[in-house]
Structure 1
Amino acid sequence: MKHAVLLFIHFSSAIFWVGGMAFAYFCLRPAAGSVLEPPQRLALWAATFARFFRYVAIAVVLLIGSGLWMILRIGLSYAPHGWLAMMVLGLFMAGVFVFIYWRLYPRLVGHVSAGRWPDAAAALNDIRQLVALNLVLSVLTVAAAAFSR
């Protein structure tokens, strides 16, 4: 596969994932909190995540796959240190996403479905904190990419 195609897949996947997290964290969260009551706000998040997480799962697979393909093409020992840092940070971010998707999100959905609003709010808060962590890690990942030689 041509390097330019791999870069396109890699960058597009990263932009979708990180851009979606940034939008949700900095725009949707404060807006929903200011105009919706907890039951509507929590139901909105459950419905939003149902769609967003499916696409993020695809983006994460494409991101890891394209990154590994590019790094293995030149050989792990020849890869710039920034690429290796990007790989480690990206894999950690993917692990955080998997934990959110398979552990915390089902908990949120279950609590919303049962109308247990305080429990749903706690689950959403756990998700929010891990999204914040992934946003910080994404900045470090972009820095690793930008400064790698």
Structure 2
Amino acid sequence: MLAIALALHTLASVVWVGGIFFVFVVLRPNLASLAPEIALPLWSRLLGRFFNWVWASILVILVTGYGVILFGYEGFNALGPHIRIMQVSGLLMIGLFVLMWSMPWQRFCQAVGAEDWPAALSAMKRMRQVVVINLILGFFTTAIGATGGFWSY
């Protein structure tokens, strides 16, 4: 059961961080050449679907992460520093995503619905700042998770 939880935890992390990378590095530069009245509604649909996957990933990450801590490590006292670092950086990522989703994303959706392209672009700029931070945190957290078991305590 522990192996399944770890696999699901890893896959959910890959969906989230890999999705951020794809959106930021591949989609963003290619959609930048489109007119705002075409690009922004497309962004709204694409990000809306992706954010559903992010919410699902967050749920899986939290359930499997804390499940592994409680049942695999038998609680918080036996955790190595890499698990504690992953926990803090993961919770920070979740907090930033929730903040982004509840403020600039909602403003972006309202602006796109009203065809207020300058307001939509402004909201998207704010979202992009959070995305960059979460991409860096996601790479950091993934590296910690991949290498932490090899650290000598």
- List aligned pairs for 1:62-77, cutoff 5 A: 62-73=60-71, 74=73, 75-77=75-77
Structure 2 counterpart of 1:9? 8
Letter in 1 for 2:46: T
- Residue 55 of structure 1, CA deviation: 1.3
Mind listing any 5+ residue stretches in structure 1 that lack a counterpart? none
| Contact 2:82–2:145 (8 Å) recurs in 1 | yes
Distance 2:130 2:17 in 1: 13
Q: Aligned to 1:55, what secondary structure does the other structure show?
A: helix
| Contact 1:64–1:90 (8 Å) recurs in 2 | no
With structure 2 as the length reference, what TM-score do the two structures score? 0.92
Distance 2:110 2:134 in 1: 24
Root-mean-square deviation (CA), in Å? 1.0
- List aligned pairs for 1:49-64, cutoff 5 A: 49-64=47-62
Mind listing any 5+ residue stretches in structure 2 that lack a counterpart? none
State the number of aligned residues: 147
Percent pairwise identity: 33
Distance 1:124 1:26 in 2: 15
Distance 2:19 2:143 in 1: 19
Distance 2:133 2:70 in 1: 28
Structure 1 stretches (4+) deviating beyond 2 angstroms?
A: none
Structure 1 counterpart of 2:35? 37
- Residue 147 of structure 1, CA deviation: 3.0
Is 1:140 aligned with 2:140? yes
Distance 2:37 2:133 in 1: 26
